[in-house]
């Protein structure tokens, strides 16, 4: 099991980024959460197999069709939180 913290910047709010991220993460069998930040970014914490997390990161580089991703900061973590699902947080 691996864990990553992602901070995604660009035009990523108001373009279904959170809902699309949740759907993609669930399709990969990943657990964690995604939310908007006050400074206009999208933040997500995800746990699962590293290969599947890397697939989610690759997907986040594009995001949904209306998004314009400029940058993704990835911070790999060692500790696990043991999430039971993947959710959108508000």
* Annotated catalytic residue within 18, 35, 71, 89: 18
- Is position 36 annotated as part of the catalytic site? yes
Q: H/E element holding 20?
A: helix 17-27
- Is position 18 annotated as part of the catalytic site? yes
* Annotated catalytic residue within 35, 36, 85, 89: 36
Distance CA 77, CA 68 (A): 26
Instruction: Give the angle 11-73-69 at the CA atoms, nearest 5°.
Output: 20
Instruction: Give the angle 8-66-10 at the CA atoms, nearest 5°.
Output: 30
Q: Which residues are catalytic?
A: 18, 36
């Amino acid at each position: 099991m691996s864990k990553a913290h992602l901070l995604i910047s660009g035009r990523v709010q108001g373009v279904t980024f959170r809902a699309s991220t949740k759907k993609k993460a669930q399709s990969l069998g990943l657990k964690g959460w995604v939310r908007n930040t006050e400074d206009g970014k999208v933040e997500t914490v995800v746990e699962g197999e590293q290969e599947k997390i890397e697939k989610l990161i690759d997907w986040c580089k594009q995001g949904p069709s209306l998004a314009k991703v400029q940058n993704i900061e990835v911070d790999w973590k060692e500790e696990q939180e043991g999430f039971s699902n993947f959710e959108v947080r508000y």
